[in-house]
Amino acid sequence: MMIKKNYCYASLALCAFTTILGCDDGHFILPRDLTKKTRKTTKAKNPFDLKKVPLKAGVVPIVVLGAGPGGLSAGLYAAAQFDTVIIAGEEPSLLTETSYVENWLGAPHQLGADLIQKSREQAESAGARIIDSTVKKVDLSKWPFTITLDDGKVMHALALIVATGARPRMLGVPGEKEYWAKGVSACARCDSLFYKNKNVMVVGGGDGAIEQAVELARYAKEVTIVHRRSQLRAAGSMQTRLKSYPQIHIMYDVDVKEVIGDKKKVTGIKLFNNQTKKQEIVPIDGVFLAIGHRPNTDLVKDVLEADSLGYIILQCSTQQTSIPGVFAAGDVADPHYRQAIVAAGDGAKAAIDAIEFLETLGFTLAEANKLRTVSNVEQKEEKQTFEK
Ligand code: NDP
């Protein structure tokens, strides 16, 4: 019973349901169970009444926001059962910006962009419709949920999967963007193999910086943590880990001013000691940013329950968010693992949860077919009008 009412302020009906959402023997309570419980505890009407859902184009059984590994995997699984639309959004998947992915099961040494392209094709061949538009607004206060696109088009989702990812925070210094994936990275677990016997720097002073430094120390010759203050923010236990790695050094009171390169790759870094006020250029092969991440939750901020860092909170061991019918997958709900393959696993789970949610409401394949027929007819008519 941990859902706070203010996260679903916009809808009294959905709120009545979400406030009683909780774990039942390690699994979330489905709407069927909720209806039973609410009957006893509140007079709330069932906000998930399929009979009230209009049979028209624009009503989609499952809508997925985001086309990274989480969103595409969700689309692949969901489309096998019900019509599914994936809205790709304007932010490309982080994977398209990395170079080679070495830890994707069964497909070693794949370019991130190729992996995403193949995943898109796979999701589409399973029946998912991918729309390369940006979402302007999401209204979760009423069911079906309303999604407004940038071009004004409106979609109504019976189940929604949020897979909008997270972005590493950037320093905002010259060279950082130019050399992204050419020596600048935010994921040691993804890229440490490329730095065998090389010298690298990790920027930041939190647990993330220690974790990345330790990961890099497995391959790199020397790892230097560069921190802007005179003491690390990282937990004592994390700092103790550093003692077993003589190849990890720490530079305190240092600000990064520029990432320097030879147009192809990183060759050095410009540092400024904020105590001595001295500037120096240090030759380096790689720069790892560990100054935190920002989940892409602007569309659902203050509506879905989130932790202090803004990551969407999931219920029990499912991908269910604080609003029934809304699920999340990948980095947007994962402050810890942040791995493409984990996001893909989350996506599969979210799709299965969404399918179970719809089936529990009584949404059958027959209903889905009726909706598809209406949708096809309306789309055909719209096309003919347009062509006239
Ligand atoms: P944090 O927010 O904890 O730390 C970010 C670090 O980056 C801080 O030291 C901060 O400096 C520094 N920083 C922020 N902005 C800048 C900037 N513009 N220029 C230079 N330095 C900057 O992020 P983390 O990713 O490290 O951790 C996020 C959360 O995940 C934490 O709760 C952490 O405990 C957890 N985590 C746990 C792990 C584990 O237990 N194994 C591993 C990784 C993360 P300052 O200290 O001055 O603010």
The confidence band for 379, taking pLDDT boundaries of 50, 70 and 90, is: low
pLDDT at 190: 87
Ligand 1 centre to CA of 168 (Å) is: 11
157/56 same-domain check: yes
The confidence band for 158, taking pLDDT boundaries of 50, 70 and 90, is: very high
From 234, 268, 289, the end of a domain falls on 289
214 CB within 6 A, ligand 1: no
In a domain, 35, yes or no: no
233 CB within 6 A, ligand 1: yes
| CB 371, CB 55: distance < 8 Å | yes
DSSP H or E run through 250: strand 248-251
The confidence band for 206, taking pLDDT boundaries of 50, 70 and 90, is: very high
204 CB within 6 A, ligand 1: yes
Ligand 1 centre to CA of 204 (Å) is: 6
194/105 same-domain check: no
Q: Pick 149 or 20 by higher pLDDT.
A: 149
15 is catalytic: no
23 is catalytic: no
Nearest residue (by CA) to ligand 1, atom 7, is 291
From 289, 306, 340, the end of a domain falls on 289
Which region among 5-9, 100-104, 152-156, 185-189 has the lowest average model confidence (pLDDT)?
5-9
Residue-wise burial string across 270-302, b where 16 or more C-beta atoms lie within 10 A, e elsewhere = bbbeeeeeeeeeeebbbbbbbbebebbbebbee
The one catalytic residue among 187, 331, 334, 353: 187
Residue 68 DSSP one-character state:
S
pLDDT at 23: 60
From 263, 289, 315, the end of a domain falls on 289
135/219 same-domain check: no
278/309 same-domain check: no
149/238 same-domain check: no
191/245 same-domain check: yes
In a domain, 7, yes or no: no
303/201 same-domain check: no
Q: Pick 75 or 26 by higher pLDDT.
A: 75
CATH of the domain at 372: 3.50.50.60
In a domain, 39, yes or no: no
pLDDT at 145: 97
Nearest residue (by CA) to ligand 1, atom 48, is 233
Per residue in 97-138, pLDDT (tens digit) is 666 777 889 988 888 899 999 999 999 999 999 999 999 999
71/126 same-domain check: yes
161/129 same-domain check: yes
224/134 same-domain check: no
| CB 74, CB 350: distance < 8 Å | yes
In a domain, 116, yes or no: yes
CA-205 nearest atom, ligand 1: 9
Count of domains for the chain: 2
pLDDT at 90: 78
159/308 same-domain check: yes
298 is catalytic: no
pLDDT at 150: 94
218/280 same-domain check: yes
Ramachandran quadrant class, 183 (left: phi over 0; alpha: psi -120 to 50; beta: rest): left
Per residue in 213-259, pLDDT (tens digit) is 999 999 999 999 999 999 999 999 899 999 999 999 999 999 999 99
Which region among 36-45, 120-129, 179-188 has the lowest average model confidence (pLDDT)?
36-45
CA distance 335 to 312: 9
CA distance 250 to 227: 8
The confidence band for 315, taking pLDDT boundaries of 50, 70 and 90, is: very high
CA-255 nearest atom, ligand 1: 20
Q: Which of 169, 167, 211 is nearest to 189 (CA)?
A: 211
The one catalytic residue among 8, 15, 83, 190: 190
Per-residue pLDDT for 35 more than 80? no
Per residue in 273-301, pLDDT (tens digit) is 999 999 999 999 999 999 999 999 999 99
In a domain, 56, yes or no: yes
Residue 84 DSSP one-character state:
E
Phi, psi of 103 (to 5 degrees): -115, 30
pLDDT at 41: 44
In a domain, 54, yes or no: yes
In a domain, 14, yes or no: no
CA distance 149 to 138: 9
User: Which residues form the domain of 105?
Assistant: 50-168+293-387
In a domain, 6, yes or no: no
Which region among 9-18, 81-90, 179-188, 222-231 has the lowest average model confidence (pLDDT)?
9-18
